[in-house]
C-alpha cells in the first residue's frame, strides 16, 4: 500500500517537473560548442563585515567537456588567485561546490558550460545560506537542521557483542521505501531553492525533512515513530512546506525531497488519527 502511494506521488511530481521545465535552458542533449566563454562571478567578503559586492568578468578558454568548476579553477590558477571557491571531489559526490549558475542552484562540477545557453555564465553564492566570501557560503545552519533529525539508526536491541554480531534482515520492498533518500550528498541545493526556508530559517528545509522520513521508514530503526515525528511536528516544522516542488527540481542526485515530505505528512496524519481513536476509546471507558 505504502509503495503504491510512493510510486503514485513520484509519478505526479515527475509530470509536474516536466511541465515546469525551465524554458530558458537548453535540453541536456543540446550542446553549444564554443572556444571561450565569459564567466561573471560574484565577488564580496562578508567576513570583513563588508556587505558590498561586485561582479568580475573573466574570459576563459573552454572545450565541450569543460565544467563550470573547471572554468572557475582556471580563473583562480591563471587569472585571479584571490577568487574564493569550495570544491573537493569534482565528481558530484561531496556536495561542496554548490552555487547558483545562471540563477539556478547547481553543482559547478556537474554542470558543463556547453549545456548552458549564452556566452556569459553568471555564478552567484547559494541563496538561503549566510555568505562567507565570493562563491562560498556557510552551511552551519543547514547541518544543524540535518542533525536535529537524528539522522542515524537507533536500535535499542542492537547486539554490540563483537564476537556475536548479526546482520539485520531487511526485505527489498522495505529498502525501496527509503532507498532514494540515502543518495543525498547534503549539497544544500534544495535548501537554497526552497521559498519557505527563505521566509523562515527555523524551518528545517527539504533535505532535513526528507532525511526525517528516511529514518522513520527504515525498518531497522526501533525509535518510537512518535519520537521522530515530534521533531518535525511544530509551527516551524513540516506544515510550513507549501509543496512548491523547487527542491526536487534542482537535486543533482535524483532525490525527491518533496516526495519525502509528503510521505512524512502521510505518516503524521495517520498517526494523529490513530492517537485520536485511542483517546476516544479511553474516554468511553
Ligand atoms: S536532497 Fe538533493 S539537493 Fe538536497 S541536499 Fe540532498 S542531494 Fe542535495
Ligand atoms: S566538487 Fe564535490 S560535488 Fe562538486
pLDDT digits (tens, 9 = 90+) for 49-105: 777 899 999 999 999 999 999 999 999 999 999 999 999 999 999 999 999 999 999
**How many whole angstroms from 258 Cα to the centroid of ligand 2?**
23
| Pocket-testing residue among 145, 178, 257, 264, ligand 1, by greatest number of atoms within 8 A of Cβ | 257
C-alpha angle 123-65-108 in degrees, rounded to nearest 5: 25
Q: What is the DSSP letter of 29?
A: T
Query: Which of 174, 190, 216 shows the shortest CA–CA distance to 129?
Result: 190
Q: How confident is the model at residue 185 (pLDDT cuts 50, 70, 90)?
A: very high
3-state secondary structure (DSSP) of residue 257: helix
**Rounded mean pLDDT of 142-151?**
98
- End-to-end CA separation in angstroms for the chain: 33
Q: From CA 176, how far away is CA 44, in angstroms rounded?
A: 44
Task: List pLDDT tens digits, range 221-270.
Answer: 999 999 999 999 999 999 999 999 999 999 999 999 999 999 999 999 98
Q: Which residues contact 100 (CB under 8 A, 6 or more apart)?
A: 106, 122, 123, 124, 125, 126, 127, 192
Among 91, 110, 184, 246, which residue has the most ligand 1 atoms within 8 Å of its CB, making it the best to mutate?
A: 184
Residue 139 near residue 207, CB atoms below 8 Å: no
Q: What is the DSSP string of 85-122?
A: ---SSSSSSS---EEEETTEEEEGGG-BGGGSSSSEEE
The C-alpha cell of 161 is what? Answer: 557483542
Residue 186 alpha carbon, nearest atom of ligand 1: 5
Instruction: Quote the pLDDT of residue 50.
Output: 77
What cell was used for 77? 590558477
Distance, CA of 187 to CA of 119 (rounded, Å): 27
- Spacing, Cα 68 to ligand 1 middle (Å): 19
Residue 147: helix, strand or coil by DSSP? Answer: helix
C-alpha cell recorded at residue 89: 571531489
Q: How far is the CA of 256 from the centre of ligand 1 (A)?
A: 8
Helix and strand numbers, DSSP H then E, in the chain? 10, 7
According to CATH, the topology of domain 2-20+139-284 is Fumarate Reductase Iron-sulfur Protein; Chain B, domain 2 (1.10.1060)
CA atoms of 136 and 221, how far apart (whole Å): 36
Tell me the CATH class for 36-137.
alpha beta
Instruction: Give the integer Cα–Cα distance in Å for 148 and 238.
Output: 13
Residues touching ligand 1 (Cβ under 6 Å) are: 184-190, 207, 210, 251, 253, 255, 257
- pLDDT over 80 (residue 168): yes
Q: What is the pLDDT of residue 48?
A: 85
Q: Is the beta carbon of 253 within 6 A of some atom in ligand 2?
A: no
- The confidence band for 9, taking pLDDT boundaries of 50, 70 and 90, is low
Query: Of ligand 2's atoms, which has the minimum distance to the CA of residue 89?
Result: 2
Q: How far is CA 118 from CA 22, 37, 38, 104, in A?
A: 15, 9, 9, 15
Ligand number with the minimum distance to the CA of 108: 2
Helix axes 205-216, 225-232, angle to 10 degrees: 170
Q: Whose alpha carbon is nearest atom 2 of ligand 1? A: 251
What per-residue confidence (pLDDT) applies to 282? Answer: 55
User: Quick check: 219 pLDDT over 80?
Assistant: yes
pLDDT band at 23 (very low <50, low <70, confident <90, very high): very low
pLDDT interval class at 278 (50, 70, 90)? low
| Ligand 2 mean position, distance from CA 223 (Å) | 33
Q: Does residue 9 line the site of ligand 2, with CB under 6 A?
A: no
Per-domain residue ranges of the chain:
2-20+139-284, 36-137
pLDDT tier for residue 158 given thresholds of 50, 70 and 90: confident
Residue 138 DSSP SS3? strand
Amino acid at each position: 500500500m505504502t509503495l503504491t502511494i510512493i510510486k503514485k506521488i513520484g509519478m505526479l511530481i515527475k509530470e509536474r517537473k516536466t511541465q515546469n521545465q525551465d524554458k530558458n535552458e537548453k535540453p541536456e542533449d543540446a550542446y553549444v560548442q564554443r572556444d571561450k566563454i565569459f564567466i561573471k562571478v560574484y565577488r564580496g567578503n562578508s567576513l570583513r563585515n563588508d556587505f558590498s559586492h561586485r561582479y568580475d568578468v573573466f574570459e576563459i578558454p573552454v572545450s565541450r567537456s569543460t565544467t563550470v568548476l573547471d572554468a572557475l579553477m582556471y580563473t583562480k590558477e591563471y587569472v585571479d588567485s584571490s577568487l574564493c571557491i569550495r570544491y573537493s571531489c569534482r565528481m558530484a559526490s561531496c556536495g561542496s561546490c554548490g552555487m547558483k549558475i545562471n540563477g539556478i542552484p547547481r553543482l559547478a562540477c556537474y554542470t558543463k558550460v556547453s549545456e548552458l545557453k549564452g556566452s556569459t555564465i553568471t555564478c552567484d553564492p547559494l541563496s538561503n545560506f549566510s555568505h562567507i566570501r565570493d562563491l562560498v557560503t556557510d552551511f552551519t545552519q543547514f547541518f544543524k537542521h540535518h542533525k536535529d533529525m537524528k539522522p542515524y539508526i537507533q536500535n535499542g536491541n542492537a547486539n554490540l557483542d563483537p564476537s556475536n554480531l548479526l546482520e539485520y534482515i531487511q526485505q527489498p520492498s522495505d529498502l525501496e521505501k527509503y532507498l532514494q533518500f540515502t543518495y543525498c550528498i547534503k549539497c544544500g541545493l534544495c535548501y537554497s531553492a526552497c521559498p519557505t526556508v527563505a521566509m523562515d530559517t527555523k524551518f528545517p528545509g527539504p533535505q532535513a525533512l526528507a532525511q526525517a522520513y528516511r529514518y522513520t521508514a527504515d525498518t531497522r530503526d526501533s525509535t518510537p515513530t512518535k519520537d521522530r515525528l515530534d521533531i518535525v511536528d511544530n509551527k516551524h516544522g513540516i506544515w510550513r512546506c507549501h509543496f512548491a516542488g523547487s527542491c526536487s527540481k534542482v537535486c543533482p542526485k535524483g532525490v525527491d525531497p518533496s516526495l519525502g515530505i509528503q510521505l512524512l505528512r502521510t505518516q503524521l496524519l495517520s498517526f494523529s488519527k490513530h492517537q485520536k481513536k485511542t483517546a476516544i476509546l479511553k474516554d468511553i471507558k
